[in-house]
Amino acid sequence: MKFLDQLPVFLFFTGKGGVGKTSLACATAVELADAGKRVLLVSTDLASNVGQVFGIAIGNKVTPFHSVPRLSGLEIDPQAAAQSYRDKIVGPVRGVLPENVVKGIEEQLSGACTTEIAAFDEFTALLTDPAILGQYDHVIFDTAPTGHTIRLLQLPGAWTGFLDQGKGDASCLGPLAGLEKQREKYKSAVDALSDPKRTRLILVTRAQASSLREANRTHDELTAIGFKQQYLVVNGVLAQADTKGDPLALAVWRREQAALAAMPEALRLLPIDFVSLKSFNLVGLTSLRELLVEGVVNATEAVIDLPKLQAPDLATLVDSLVGDGHGLIMLMGKGGVGKTTIAAAVAVELANRGYPVHLTTSDPAAHLAETLEGSVEHLSVSRIEPHVETERYRQHVMDTKGKDLDAQGKALLEEDLRSPCTEEIAVFQAFSRIIREAGKKFVVMDTAPTGHTLLLLDATGAYHRETARQMGQSGLHFSTPMMQLQDANQTKVLIVTLAENTPVLEAAGLQNDLRRADIEPWAWVINNSLAIANPTSPLMRQRASNELTQIEAVTTQYAKRWAVVPLQAEEPIGVERLQKLARHGIG
């Protein structure tokens, strides 16, 4: 494996949910420890399942893996880190500043920006502490810091002074206020991350067009901020030998080969490794030790008996969605689970029934037009363009808040508006404009991957609380976007996942986050299921059997309503295939 050659101290595995970051990080950690290296495996994932992979409890403390000498693990809890971070900033001013000022600070620190920065704060010590370098040969991170977080930390201006002068805008300046005293420490951490002699960044993807596009976007984003030494691992590649005359498996193999042949040029230039699709669940040491070994026998020739899975299809869900003939339908979930496809299928099904539908997306990586490949009566399609909305918002702020500032003040305001959170606020405003249409028609929204969606909800919640404060004493009736999201009669949230361990855990975490915001998910959609597609090749049948536990977890523990969508032989692109997808069609 190229990514294992001449390893530096720090390894970061990054990629969308469900591509196999955790499995690859764990397998790499075991291989290095088996080779005599002292290894610390660190997870910063909200839905970390590193402990589950090894069958032990880890938590927020360094824990030795007794079954693997020289290997230890640590799971950073982002929510706990965020609370500790808030306490560190708010504690010293509580009782000193007026209560309304303290509440304002807490409001600024309530969002996902704070959680992201706080998690970085936690593992910064691992990058800069000399004791770590003396104790371990390698530190492996499952989930790298996002480009969003690193861009925040690279903002060069005087955050605290800017806040003190009251010139800040409602973006990330609140979360950043606590970083001023540790500026040099963070600079050292960012320097370590961008130094190829100390750090290797490994992009994990699948042999799928959407996954490769997302990997390319991540590559470009990280390259732009100085992370030029990157490796690519294409995980879970189906071998032609494992198709075994199965029409579905053969179609999947051909689709993967086509996606790899059309790989973006920037990715093609990276050092690339391919890891074959395995039939077994990647839990336990035996499986981890076999993951990176090519030539492992995937499945026996014995035919696995699969129960005939009875499950509602998307069309059945739409039957219950229709209601009054209008409303907001939001598709949420991690990147790579097929939200865009499911959103398009739901919109097409509604439009075919004669309802006016507006299909839109807030996902910068979405390709709605390509998915539809044509027009449908009663269906309009739009896209919230983050860059366009951000530029419009920046100009508005400069024209209003910036018009009376001196040159230095304008420069600082412009810098603040380069913060990634500015984009979230701008997208929120566009989002608010669109969802007002849901009073007259169906608005089907394909949202960005979960972390960005939660930032959007943070902005929605902050706007709601500010409006409630201003309007509460007036006695006037008011409505906010958050109130619409919380009203089950107006909004239906569909969580999209795959029948795999990590995507289901991440979807459950998203559901908990939504419930904390008083938004109750309406249904779950299990996408690309082999269990309902009834494949015939031994490997595919074994993987279908592996799905049953996750499907049972969704249907008995998490979802009030659900639908299962089979893996398609043909890419579900175009109106005809989307119609078939909605009705359990297997092409």
Q: Is 66 exposed, middle or buried (0-12, 13-18, 19+ CB in 10 A)?
A: exposed
Distant-in-sequence, close-in-space partners of 169: CB < 8 Å, separation ≥ 6: 397, 401, 413, 416, 417, 422
Residues 275 and 138: their CA atoms lie apart, in Å, by 22
Which residue(s) pair with 498 in the sheet? 527
Residues 216 and 337: their CA atoms lie apart, in Å, by 17
Q: How far apart are the first and last CA of the chain?
A: 36
Residues 536 and 303: their CA atoms lie apart, in Å, by 8
Separation in Å, CA 57 to CA 51, 53, 64, 254, 549: 5, 10, 11, 41, 21
Residues 185 and 198: their CA atoms lie apart, in Å, by 16
Cβ-contact 25, 292 below 8 angstroms: no
Which H or E run includes 369? Answer: helix 368-372
Place of tokens 């861009």: 151
Catalytic residues: 18, 20-23, 45, 502
Strand runs labelled E in 362-478: 379-381, 442-446
Which H or E run includes 13? Answer: strand 10-14
Residues 192 and 124: their CA atoms lie apart, in Å, by 10
